[in-house]
Structure 1
Amino acid sequence: MTTTDQAALQTSTYTLTGADAIEQFLSNAYTGMRLHSDTDRPRLRYDRTDAGAFTLDTLEQTAAILDIRAAPLHTIAINRMATGRMQRTCGGVEQRYGPGDLYIATDPDLPYTVRWLPSEIFSAALDSGLLARVAATAPGRRPAPLRFTSLDPTTPAVAAYWWDTYCYLADVLRNPEAVTPLVLGNAAQLLATATLTTFANTALTDPTIEDRHDAHPECLRRAISFIDDNAHRDISAADIAAAAHVTIRTLQLAFRRHLDTTPTAYLRRVRLHHVHQDLQAADPTTTTVFAVAQRWGFANHSRFTATYHHTYGTTPSQTLRN
């Protein structure tokens, strides 16, 4: 086993052999479970990147059929089969998955069973509080907790969108030098948003009459003021909505109605403007483009450079040199 720490980021790799060792490890990593193998020495390789509010895991088990009975997971875990097959039964419903399939591992409040054939699985687990914050509406509008009404994606297109998001985040987190609290916060919100978009859930998706009435210019002014004052912090759409004293749906409607954009897109624009100002003021002999972009939460160099060039008609390196 190896472990690396970088700020709040932790990466771990384990290789286990034998049913008892795998059962104990998976029980500690996820939830209590009993495991039976059809071979004497099943083998599991496990890689985890722990970013605090979410984790990205890769599990590869070889040369065995593992039958697992597990207690409720109490978290939202999303799996994508890379190879092999998986059979899951939860709430009396059996489902089978193969290469390329994306699904929520289980209803988090129900026990489940799994028949796991030799395969490789990519997985992400999200803190329920993060999902609730991203999906939040006004107090009293939706008193019931957030709940997913299907364990499968609504369409192949949104499943592909979720997987693209996972791959992007995995790529960002592979570069420890780029990982800052702001980068991790942005990453967590991206994954939560992709998950809520991909799987049907009880969060409100359309503005109510009250939302439409509240989406006035004064609401927008309060939101913009909060963003301008706090762009250097790890803030979410829920934080912006709270500062503007409106729901997230109202906030989204106000930005779309008056600025033809979204709150998060506007936040990225403000942060990009700060990057531009910092590059103009920086000494190119002591400052790098990477350091300035990282400070404002831009971790993917190629995407950042393309966005910067589209916005300012030049490259960030040219701005720094000039």
Structure 2
Amino acid sequence: MNTKLPATHRFDSRDPDTIHAFLTSAYGTEMTIRAAEGYRFRHHRVDAGPFCLETMEQSTRLEIDVGRIGALVVVQVVSGRIDRTCAGVSGRFGPGDVFLAAAPGRPYSMSWLPGRVKSCLLDLSVLAKVAGGTLPGRAGTIRFTGLAPASPALARLWRHTTSYLDHVVLRNPYAYRQPLVIANAARMLAASALAVFPNTITGRPAATDRRAATNATLRRATAFIDEYADRDIVAADIAAAAQVSLRALQLAFRRHLDTTPMAHLRRVRLDRAHHDLLQADPRQETVSAIASRWGFLSHSRFTARYHATYGIPPSRTLHA
């Protein structure tokens, strides 16, 4: 996964031609926009590489036809109303509602009344990687079978996830400068999207997965984690290294360690952070910098987890 430092972009215009040119460039697709002359459109984007978080606001009724966008676009209405149609599926969304703008790779249309929305653009490769779509036996691409959340509780999950990433990660200079932090944030969004919106990555483990969930599989997986804990790896990479399916890997960890592959990876990274704290010069290093280096998104959560594991706060280890 390619990562880069988040970059902030702002746009504000009342000129329809300028707005049209900006939107087609920002989303990399053709658009048709019908609106009154002289309306105002404002756009704020934080581009983290594998994902972007945006806020948009406009002052009229917009009728927009959008071509195919090479990303998963999740929209949250803050104020106003949006009527969206994609592949014959229509929906009306008001304040607090969350929805997919389109099935990936499909064009869509929107009627947007004056108001404000937040959106997230997520690289499809992150989605496929989190779902294990590149592994042998995992067919093709992910298909979303619904464009609205499976439940109101899951809609809240999406809102909380994006709010957390915006406030805790992207506004933390220690965090967003670390490639592992941005990669973990992207995977958090992908995992949330797969949990929130109905899709084809579902079902129970097959009999072959249960047979493959052995101690040998676990040994191969943990050896790979130990070697590559400082890299941007996901459960699909671990499964590939262990030569099993993603579900077989998950079963192996649950059966033999009563945990998950990613939870085990986080524990290994916590141990590496502990080692760095022991070796660090407190005049040159900070707890936040070391935590971010090992992919921990939140300083407070890292501190709580560290204290629960080692019995003392990480600051005491650093200054010991």
Q: Same fold (TM over 0.5)?
A: yes
Amino acid of the residue matched to residue 15 of structure 1?
D
Q: Relative to structure 1, is the Cα distance of residues 299 and 74 closer, same or farther in structure 2, using a 3 angstrom cutoff?
A: closer
The equivalent position to 1:241 in structure 2, one of 239, 242, 248, is 239
C-alpha deviation, 1:144, in angstroms? 3.3
The equivalent position to 1:66 in structure 2, one of 28, 50, 62, is 62
Contact 1:79 1:124 in 2 (8 A): yes
Contact 1:75 1:108 in 2 (8 A): yes
The range that moved more, 168-177 or 41-50, is 168-177
Q: How does 1:67-146 map to 2 (within 5 A)?
A: 67-136=63-132, 139=135, 141-146=137-142
Q: 1:225 maps to what in 2? A: 223
Q: 1:279 maps to what in 2? A: 277
Moved over 3 A (4+): 137-140
Q: Distance in 1 between matches of 2:232 and 2:105?
A: 30
Q: 2:37 maps to what in 1? A: 40
Amino acid of the residue matched to residue 191 of structure 1?
L
Structure 1: segments with no counterpart, 5+ residues: 1-5
Q: Deviation digits for residues 151-190 of structure 1, max 9, x if unmatched?
A: 0111112221122111121120122332211111111111
Q: Deviation digits for residues 271-305 of structure 1, max 9, x if unmatched?
A: 11111121122222332112211211123111111
C-alpha deviation, 1:307, in angstroms? 1.4
Structure 2: segments with no counterpart, 5+ residues: none
Q: Deviation digits for residues 80-114 of structure 1, max 9, x if unmatched?
A: 11111101122223210000001001123333221
The equivalent position to 1:161 in structure 2, one of 157, 163, 167, is 157
Q: Relative to structure 1, is the Cα distance of residues 93 and 283 closer, same or farther in structure 2, using a 3 angstrom cutoff?
A: closer
Q: 1:215 maps to what in 2? A: 213
Q: Distance in 1 between matches of 2:26 and 2:280?
A: 45
The equivalent position to 2:171 in structure 1, one of 171, 174, 189, is 174
TM-score between the two structures when normalised by the length of structure 2: 0.93
Q: Distance in 2 between matches of 1:284 and 1:51?
A: 30
Q: 2:19 maps to what in 1? A: 22
Q: Distance in 1 between matches of 2:184 and 2:220?
A: 22
Amino acid of the residue matched to residue 139 of structure 2?
P
> Aligned residues, how many?
315
The equivalent position to 1:13 in structure 2, one of 1, 5, 10, is 10
Q: 1:257 maps to what in 2? A: 255
Q: Deviation digits for residues 205-224 of structure 1, max 9, x if unmatched?
A: 42111111100011011111
Contact 2:135 2:236 in 1 (8 A): no
User: What secondary structure is seen at the aligned counterpart in 2 of 1:144?
Assistant: coil
Amino acid of the residue matched to residue 269 of structure 1?
R
The range that moved more, 131-140 or 242-251, is 131-140
% identical aligned pairs: 49
Amino acid of the residue matched to residue 10 of structure 1?
A
Amino acid of the residue matched to residue 144 of structure 2?
F
TM-score between the two structures when normalised by the length of structure 1: 0.93
Contact 1:80 1:122 in 2 (8 A): yes
Q: Distance in 1 between matches of 2:307 and 2:189?
A: 26
Q: Distance in 1 between matches of 2:212 and 2:32?
A: 52
Q: Distance in 2 between matches of 1:113 and 1:191?
A: 24
